[in-house]
Every structure is written in structure tokens, then in C-alpha cells.
Amino acid sequence: MKRAIVTGATSGIGAATVGALRGAGYAVLAVARRPDRLDGLAQETGAQILAADVRDIATIRAAVDDFKPDVLVNNAGVGHGIDGFAEAGDALIQEAVDVNVTSLLQLTGVVLPAMIENRAGHIVNIGSIAGLHTVASALYGATKAAVHIFSQNLRNELVGTGIRVTEICPGRVATEFYAAAKGDRERLDRMGSTGIRELDPKDVAAAILYAVGTPAHVNVATIELLPTDQAVGGIKLKASHETT
């Protein structure tokens, strides 16, 4: 039985991914901060659980060493600064980098030695279209751009090891993303209401399941996944003296 670790596992994409992997026959270790939700997830899916902040790499390292995953899904993340960079402040900037970038790098570093020794394994990083395209989210976009180039370069480094690296880059997904983000609440609430049919977390989980389910000689490098009613691109023009 293949084994997978999923971070940020108690809601949205993470919870859907745990369910999808369990349905495909994987043993899953679900990692998240909220013990009550983890308990419910364990009862619903049969996943093993670990209540830990992804920044607590010492605790997670011990669990990883015991679990020995074939697949790591780096899903945990925060949307801090999505409402604008100017008022983010030092604390939110640091937390965004710590959760979205540093923890992802550290956890990947924890699982790789055993994967390299086994000459098999799969790293799945949840990026964002904000890391691929110019959108109005400087801080969040910067962290996800880091995930993107890390995924690309790690794939390059690991050629010949048998390890695969996949980046999933969703657009708008119907999750708690905007509700959980820290910032100006009014702006965040407004940004969270689009009126379009957004992706369901299960749509993203299906893309992850596709990537990890391909034959060992196939590496799905990047999947850009958007709702039909969302597109990226274009030019924004606004005179600096214009009042709103």
C-alpha cells in the first residue's frame, strides 16, 4: 500500500485530497493544526492524523520518519497580503513566508533522503496562478512564485533519481481561503465573493490524484487549473491622480 502525507488537511483542498487518496487505496497521514477537525477527518476517511503546525518541523520530522511516505502533498498555506501589500506589516509578511515557503522547503527536505535511497517518490506542491501570472497579490504571489521555481528546479535536480515533482496551480476554489486570510476584513470579504462557479476542492484533488496515478515513467510537471469563468492576463490602466 502506498503512503501519502497531506498538509493543511482539515479543510478545502487538503481535506478533499485526503479523501481522494484514501479512496484510491493510499494510507494517508493528515497533518493540520485543528485537532477537532482532524478527529472528524480520521473518522470519515480512516486517515492517520497529526495535529501540528507545519512550522513545527521537529514534530513533523519525527512523524515522517515513522510514516515513510511515498507521496508528499505540500498543501498548507495562508493568503495573507492577498488584499494588498502596503498594509501587510512585518508579522504577516513573515508568517506568509514561513508557512507558504519555508515550511514547504523544510518538509520536502525531510522526505527526500529516503525517497532518493528508494529511487522512487512523488512531491506534489500546491502553487497558484498567482505564482505564474501577474495578479493583484504581491505578497501571496511572491510566495507562490517561490513554490513554482522551487518545483521547477527541484525537478531538474532530481532527474535520474526516479522521484517525480508536480506543481498544481489552481485559480479560484470554493474554500475558506479568504475567510482564513488576515488583513482588511472588508476587502477580503469583497474579494471572496465573485458570483462565478468556482472550482470545488474535489476538482483540485482529482488533478492531484491524476498526477500521482500516472505510470512511474510519466512526470506531470505543472497543472494550471481554473474555473471556466476565470481567466488571467490583460493590462490594468489607471491614472495616478484619479480619485475613487
In 3D space, the residue among 20, 27, 36 whose CA is nearest the CA of residue 5 turns out to be 27
In 3D space, the residue among 4, 33, 35 whose CA is nearest the CA of residue 18 turns out to be 4
> Taking the model in full, what pTM does it have?
0.92
Rounded to whole angstroms, the Cα distance separating 73 from 32 reads 12
What is the model's pLDDT at position 204? 97
Rounded to whole angstroms, the Cα distance separating 225 from 203 reads 9
Fold of 3-225: Rossmann fold (3.40.50)
**Set of cell numbers at residue 68:** 515513510
- The half-sphere exposure of 129 on its side-chain side, counting CA atoms within 13 A, is 15
Domain ranges of the chain: 3-225
The edge-to-edge listing of strands for the beta sheet with 27-32 is 48-51, 27-32, 3-7, 71-74, 121-126, 163-170, 222-225
- Catalytic residues, by residue number, are 140
Question: Taking each helix axis from N to C terminus, what angle separates 12-23 and 35-45, rounded to the nearest 10 degrees?
Answer: 30
Full pLDDT tens readout for the chain, 244 residues? 999 999 999 999 999 999 999 999 999 999 999 999 999 999 999 999 999 999 999 999 999 999 999 999 999 999 887 778 888 899 999 999 999 999 999 999 999 999 999 999 999 999 999 999 998 789 999 999 999 999 999 999 999 999 999 999 999 888 766 566 666 666 666 666 778 888 999 999 999 999 999 999 999 999 999 999 989 887 777 776 655 4
Rounded to whole angstroms, the Cα distance separating 191 from 179 reads 10
What is the model's pLDDT at position 244? 46
What is the model's pLDDT at position 238? 75
Q: Is 77 exposed, middle or buried (0-12, 13-18, 19+ CB in 10 A)?
A: buried
